[in-house]
Amino acid sequence: MKKLTLLFSFCFTSLFLYAQKQYAVVIHGGAGTILKKDMSPELEQQYKEKLKEALAKAYEKIKEGKSSVEAVEAAIIVMEDSPLFNAGKGAVFTHDGKNELDASIMYGKDKTAGAVAGVMTIKNPIKAAIAVMQKSEHVMMIGKGAEQFAKSQGLEIVNPKYFWTKKRWDALQKVKKEELKANQPNAMNAHYPDYFLIDKKFGTVGCVALDKDGNIAAGTSTGGMTNKRYGRVGDSPIIGAGTYADKNVGISGTGWGEFYIRTSAARTVAAKYEYQNKDVKAATEEVMAEIEKLGGDGGIIALDKNGNVAMTFNTEGMYRGTVTKDGEIEVEIYK
């Protein structure tokens, strides 16, 4: 009888595991007030196609047996090169009309990490973050120094004009106008006045991948927030805030960066997973709830060593997508 019960529970567990999808890659392309009514069918299609392309590129690496770092790099490059997202080309503008880019990567196997912040000439900041991780003894480099290092590593350097897009330029003018109307030209100094809540963040990109050897990598790349000033840096290049990976789980965040820094968002998800046995869904939801309680918003993606995925957000939408271990791609935008 005991044997029979054991056999039954074994079959049941196997069936359950079989039924549950196992994922190899998860990406986000930013969270915010993304509403179907504001989106033309053509634009929606463009976003979906780009997300699918990014996932396919990452999956190709995983299928070939490459490391999760290479998969994350491949997905993020697709989104950095697309003007649709707030990363690389298409990044938002600072108050001074510049594009200052941030990116980071972490490899769970050995907890190595790399990040760049406030760079203006590196075509693909995620490549620079990976170079910092793999080719230097540092974790984070900023501004001119980071650019000099990227150049020394043979990375592509571009004229800052490369990052200019009309859509982001117009968004900056709109936010500045609102600021003037509210007679508060020092938005980043003020205590979150109402006009600050105009959606200034859109389209940061991130990816978490799990390779065939069971190693996880997570990466994030962004232009930050429209109208940022005083050399403001958000959570995206900060290991433990916007990006984190260990042997159990990888995380990438997108949203109002200050809140992700204050909650150590990405690291807290990993800690909940490790110390409280929370699954990725519960862990990301709890961190998102804390961010919301403090007044922040955005989303978090996570992928664990067993291929479980979470895509949690408290905004109207989040560009997002997954690939299963069998190569099945799914993308979504709205709630």
Contact residues toward ligand ASP (CB under 6 A) are 30, 86, 201, 204, 222, 224-225, 234-236, 242, 254-255, 257, 298
204 is catalytic: yes
Residues in the chain: 335
Label residue 11 exposed, middle or buried (CB < 10 Å: 0-12, 13-18, 19+). exposed
Q: What is the DSSP letter of 94?
A: B
Residue 253 CB, shortest distance to ligand ASP, in Å, is 7
How far is the C-alpha of 246 from the C-alpha of 272, rounded, in Å? Answer: 13
Backbone angles phi, psi at 291, to 5 degrees: -60, -45
**Options 204, 226, 243, 268, the catalytic residue:** 204
H/E segment holding residue 254: strand 249-255
Residue 164 CB, shortest distance to ligand ASP, in Å, is 19
Judged by beta carbon, residue 108 or residue 255, the one nearer ligand ASP is: 255
Direct distance between the N- and C-terminal alpha carbons of the chain, in angstroms, rounded to an integer: 48
Judged by beta carbon, residue 114 or residue 298, the one nearer ligand ASP is: 298
> Any bridge partners for residue 332, and if so which?
320
Judged by beta carbon, residue 59 or residue 163, the one nearer ligand ASP is: 163
- Which residues make Cβ contacts (< 8 Å) with residue 266, sequence separation at least 6? 218, 239, 240, 241, 242, 243, 244, 251, 252, 253, 260, 300
Judged by beta carbon, residue 215 or residue 226, the one nearer ligand ASP is: 226
Residue 7 CB, shortest distance to ligand ASP, in Å, is 49
Judged by beta carbon, residue 114 or residue 242, the one nearer ligand ASP is: 242
The amino acid at residue 79 is M
Residue 32 CB, shortest distance to ligand ASP, in Å, is 7
Residue 110 CB, shortest distance to ligand ASP, in Å, is 26
Task: Report the catalytic residues.
Answer: 204
